[in-house]
Amino acid sequence: MRGTPLTPLGAMAELERLLRVHRRPAHAPADAIEFAKDYVEVCRDVSLEQFRQGVTEYLRGPGRFFPKPGEVRALALEQPGAGSVGDVGAFATWLQNGYRATPEGALSACPVCGQDWEWAPRMKIIHRHVTHRALGLPCLGACDELRCLGPGIRSAPVSTVPIDDTAAERAAIQGEGA
Ligand SMILES: [Zn+2]
Ligand SMILES: [Zn+2]
């Protein structure tokens, strides 16, 4: 969990954001706090910040109905939450320490995008490309953007998705002409 523990009051404020867009489930408890408690119960392992970011992601997505607690949790778990996320200085320290916040510590999540280590199939971090590029930093190994041409990144597959990287664009155009 990265951030403040989720409380029913905190969850209630976020559910209200969803209620502005989605119809309240007919079988939901009438009391707003009781309704929020159902979400807190399921989302025990996510922080308030992650819950908030997860709700924002849900609102940005194609979801047509009021999300179930498990749906918010799944999205929230993917969110960076609070902490040193986006901190360029912390990124330099993290690299210096061999992907650790402190030299003696365990491998820790990326301080730029908040992504943590996972087995896929070996230990690695799948960085959030948009966050890294917004700060002008490389993705280092793997990221969630298939066309990423950063150092050591997986090769770019053929795609019709528009790209914002001019170098990649030039390479693609040259490839087509050959
Ligand atoms: Zn990262
Ligand atoms: Zn990338």
**Cα of 149 to ligand 2 centre, how many Å?**
7
**Cα of 107 to ligand 1 centre, how many Å?**
13
- Closest ligand relative to 114 C-alpha: 1
- Closest ligand relative to 113 C-alpha: 1
> Between 178 and 147, where is the model more confident?
147
Q: Is the pTM of this model over 0.75?
A: no
Beta bridge partners of 5: 47
**Cα of 37 to ligand 1 centre, how many Å?**
32
Return the ∠ at Cα 91 (arms to 59 and 147), rounded to 5°. 55
Which tokens is 7 given?
Answer: 């409380």
**Cα of 1 to ligand 2 centre, how many Å?**
24
**Cα of 48 to ligand 2 centre, how many Å?**
27
- Closest ligand relative to 127 C-alpha: 1
- Closest ligand relative to 112 C-alpha: 1
Nearest residue to 167 via CA among 156, 154, 152, 178:
156
- Closest ligand relative to 110 C-alpha: 1
**Residues with C-beta atoms within 5 A of ion ligand 1:** 110, 112-113, 127
What per-residue confidence (pLDDT) applies to 128?
85
Flag whether pLDDT at 111 surpasses 80.
Answer: yes
Lowest mean pLDDT among 27-36, 98-107, 125-134: 125-134
Nearest residue to 165 via CA among 132, 117, 121, 116:
132
What average pLDDT does the segment 88-108 reach? 89
